[in-house]
Structure 1
Amino acid sequence: MQGYKTHVQSGILLNANEASQNVNETVKQEIIDAISNLSLNRYPDTTCHQLHRLYAEVMNVPSSWILSGNGSDQMLGFLIQYYLQENKILYTLSPDFSMYDYYVGLNHSNIEKYETNLDGSFDVDAFISNGKDKNVDMVLFSNPNNPTGHSITLWEMKKISEAFKDIPVIFDEAYMEFGKESAVCLLKEYPNVFVCRTLSKAYGLAGIRCGFMISSQVEKLSALFIPYALSSVTQTIASVVLRHADEYKDTIATIISERERMYQEVKEFKQLTMYPSNANFLFGRSEKKDLLLAMFKEKNITIRNYEDASFRITIGTKEENEMVLDVLRRFEYANS
């Protein structure tokens, strides 16, 4: 079993795919007012009734299909614990979110990884065939993928859901607000499908740890979920922000626009390779990564570093993004 490494918390933080800006002052004041009225001596509403109702409106699903927990990774851990007993096999991608490995190890299960191309793409038919050959017990991967930012299409999601309709298929959609096609529309047709979401990324609430599982199977599973998983404070803050969900559309659109602007500028660079993304980050590789990291460190910019030649840069504010582009331009020029 391997532990999960948390992120560096110093410098200009573009390493953890957090939102670069806090909630605005109007929302912050609503949060303060709402929290001041809480009965902190009482346990929280374990049904999260109000929170689920609000999120159901955002996602256009029945509130009975929603279960919430301490970050979407708690929902993923719960599903792995529920469906994968000893020696059962989780089927995922490589690379993907390392917390899958953590929860598989915690439950003494096994993990089978399908190697993707450098840009995160993969042959869905070959993925299905390999999973069938290995007789896997659960399919789980992030879409858009973390760390590559690659997404599969709705048609491909449906193909996977149909091929593995006798086992749970989980789409980890932590970054889908920045993507295109969600698996949520498959939930009615495929009871084996689960979608996990979070408020940490697009809604800028990484600090409160609030995530969701969406599935027609929630009513069956919810009785076994840990009680009081979300504090009254977390439920209250999340509910206030979700009442402003429409206002976040412009913020999300700006992040997508900035992502595309940055990618268009660097996609022809010779000293590094950046890949198209459907998330709030860009993923890249360079054989001279150590030099690149040193140049970022000189400017007090923290990005995500991986063990191989790859790295990941969160899309920040326009000012932060311009600082990143300046480093990338100088790196390209210095090594050309």
Structure 2
Amino acid sequence: MNKPFADKLRKIASYVPGEQPQCAGRIKLNANENPYPPSPRVAAALRDFDAATLAFYPDANAHRLKNALAAQNGLKASQVFVGNGSDDVLALAFQSFFCSDQPILYPDITYSFYPVWCGLFRVPYETVPLGADFRVNPRAFDRRSGGVLLPNPNAPTGIGEPLALLEDILRHNADCVVIIDEAYVDFGAESAVSLLPKYENLLIVQTASKSRSLAGLRVGWAFGSETLIGTLEAVKNSYNSYTLDAVAIEAAAASVEDDAYFRKTCKQVMDTREASAEALRALGFSILPSQANFLFATHPQKNAAELFEALRAQNIFVRYFDLPRIDNYLRITVGTDAQMARLTDALKTILS
């Protein structure tokens, strides 16, 4: 069929999310979701929510949630930005801060949404190769750029870098915005929040999807100087003032305020992560050191793509990336102890 308008459409390779299997009895370890339910305070907030208020627009500034996040992190509410998941926050940050003709810099092995946003928003970029051990070399970022984007811990490797390395990069990139993507920071890495008073060009992005078990709610946030947060707010309000609905604001605030439950479930995930890493090493896997809620594993005698398909045939879903340098690794989300035991048993059978 002739489509004379087709040459005017945006041509872009979109992000491909992890598979969402619906089969009964599945073990879903492919999307870095939390295996535990959200805080009981979230359930209470949902029960107590007055549905009649949905007739009105939500608080465009999400004051309740911003105040809770500010109090927890020792910041002012004017240093907090919230959005529809950290993906939304990052997309707005790309539009707000990466506006020069200089390329932004980010690691060559990282979150696969970054090049998608660069294509969508026409942001030039260059990837910075990680070392053979998948660690960041701060000197590789010592060049003129339009911005720096660094996930910490990184995905899909799970490796976290120390605060001193992050500050080193900040010191050498004072003329652009440096974004630290901390989606997995609550599972053992050190947050860069303490660096905010020293670096006005630092933006930290976090999410409620992982450590707070709220992936289905879609809430994320950023911390930064009032200059950066004010710019984010202006860009957001240019096309959608109400990025968070009223239900999300109440439920997310309730989660943030339940610090004890948050710490308890994070510890459960970390304990299971370490036990699972040992169990996989006993089967011959090499595991990268993880400070996230997943493991990045490779087996010297077994092809990762074949392992991925063999697990999938048993309704155990992990993530495989057919990409240079990591095409013989599996990314395995940390589930419950029972789920990880089933994974280990399945791998024993496959490997034998």
TM-score by length of 1: 0.91
Deviation (angstroms), 1:285 = 2.5
Give the Cα–Cα distance (whole angstroms) in 1 for the partners of residues 55 and 122 of structure 2: 38
Q: Which residue of 1 aligns with 2:293?
A: 280
* Equivalent residue pairs, number: 326
Deviation (angstroms), 1:195 = 0.2
Give the Cα–Cα distance (whole angstroms) in 2 for the partners of residues 245 and 25 of structure 1: 12
Secondary structure at the aligned position of 1:207 is classed as: coil
Kept in 1: contact 2:42–2:252 (CA 8 A):
no
Kept in 1: contact 2:39–2:255 (CA 8 A):
no
Secondary structure at the aligned position of 1:230 is classed as: coil
Match of 2:230 among 209, 213, 219: 219
Secondary structure at the aligned position of 1:208 is classed as: coil
Kept in 2: contact 1:120–1:148 (CA 8 A):
yes
Deviation (angstroms), 1:150 = 0.6
**Cα separation, partners in 2 of 1:242 and 1:25, compared to 1, 3 Å:** closer
Deviation (angstroms), 1:267 = 3.0
Deviation (angstroms), 1:7 = 1.9
The one-letter amino acid paired with 1:293 is F
**Cα separation, partners in 2 of 1:106 and 1:115, compared to 1, 3 Å:** same
Within the alignment, does 1:42 sit opposite 2:83 as a pair? no
Within the alignment, does 1:229 sit opposite 2:243 as a pair? yes
Secondary structure at the aligned position of 2:43 is classed as: helix
TM-score by length of 2: 0.87
Kept in 2: contact 1:179–1:278 (CA 8 A):
yes
Within the alignment, does 1:124 sit opposite 2:138 as a pair? yes
Secondary structure at the aligned position of 1:151 is classed as: coil
Deviation (angstroms), 1:24 = 5.5
Within the alignment, does 1:262 sit opposite 2:263 as a pair? no
Within the alignment, does 1:191 sit opposite 2:235 as a pair? no
Kept in 2: contact 1:18–1:201 (CA 8 A):
yes
Per-residue Cα deviation, 1:94-120 (whole angstroms, up to 9, x for no partner): 211111111111111211111213542
User: Which of 147-156 and 229-238 deviates more?
Assistant: 229-238
Match of 1:28 among 18, 43, 50: 43
Deviation (angstroms), 1:290 = 3.2
Kept in 2: contact 1:84–1:107 (CA 8 A):
no
Kept in 1: contact 2:180–2:205 (CA 8 A):
yes
Deviation (angstroms), 1:291 = 3.0
- Runs (4+) of structure 1 exceeding 4 A deviation are none
Kept in 2: contact 1:31–1:240 (CA 8 A):
no
Q: Which residue of 2 aligns with 1:137?
A: 146
Within the alignment, does 1:174 sit opposite 2:174 as a pair? no
The one-letter amino acid paired with 2:333 is T
The one-letter amino acid paired with 2:247 is V
Give the Cα–Cα distance (whole angstroms) in 1 for the partners of residues 321 and 128 of structure 2: 19
Give the Cα–Cα distance (whole angstroms) in 2 for the partners of residues 331 and 112 of structure 1: 40
Q: Which residue of 1 aligns with 2:219?
A: 210
The one-letter amino acid paired with 2:206 is R
Match of 1:150 among 147, 150, 159: 159
Deviation (angstroms), 1:220 = 4.4
Give the Cα–Cα distance (whole angstroms) in 1 for the partners of residues 179 and 305 of structure 2: 36
Within the alignment, does 1:310 sit opposite 2:321 as a pair? no
Give the Cα–Cα distance (whole angstroms) in 1 for the partners of residues 17 and 307 of structure 2: 22
Q: Which residue of 1 aligns with 2:316?
A: 301
5 Å-filtered alignment, 1:244-263, equals: 244-263=258-277
**Cα separation, partners in 2 of 1:30 and 1:182, compared to 1, 3 Å:** same
Match of 1:7 among 18, 21, 26: 18
**Cα separation, partners in 2 of 1:199 and 1:38, compared to 1, 3 Å:** farther
Q: Which residue of 2 aligns with 1:321?
A: 340
Give the Cα–Cα distance (whole angstroms) in 2 for the partners of residues 179 and 13 of structure 1: 22
The one-letter amino acid paired with 2:233 is S
**Cα separation, partners in 2 of 1:248 and 1:61, compared to 1, 3 Å:** same
Secondary structure at the aligned position of 1:16 is classed as: coil
Give the Cα–Cα distance (whole angstroms) in 1 for the partners of residues 347 and 333 of structure 2: 14
Unaligned stretches of 5+ residues in structure 1: none
Deviation (angstroms), 1:253 = 0.4
Give the Cα–Cα distance (whole angstroms) in 2 for the partners of residues 236 and 220 of structure 1: 25
Deviation (angstroms), 1:38 = 4.9
Q: Which residue of 1 aligns with 2:6?
A: none
Give the Cα–Cα distance (whole angstroms) in 2 for the partners of residues 113 and 313 of structure 1: 25
Per-residue Cα deviation, 1:48-101 (whole angstroms, up to 9, x for no partner): 111100111222222210000011111111111122237431200121111111
User: Which of 194-203 and 175-184 deviates more?
Assistant: 175-184
Give the Cα–Cα distance (whole angstroms) in 1 for the partners of residues 278 and 185 of structure 2: 21
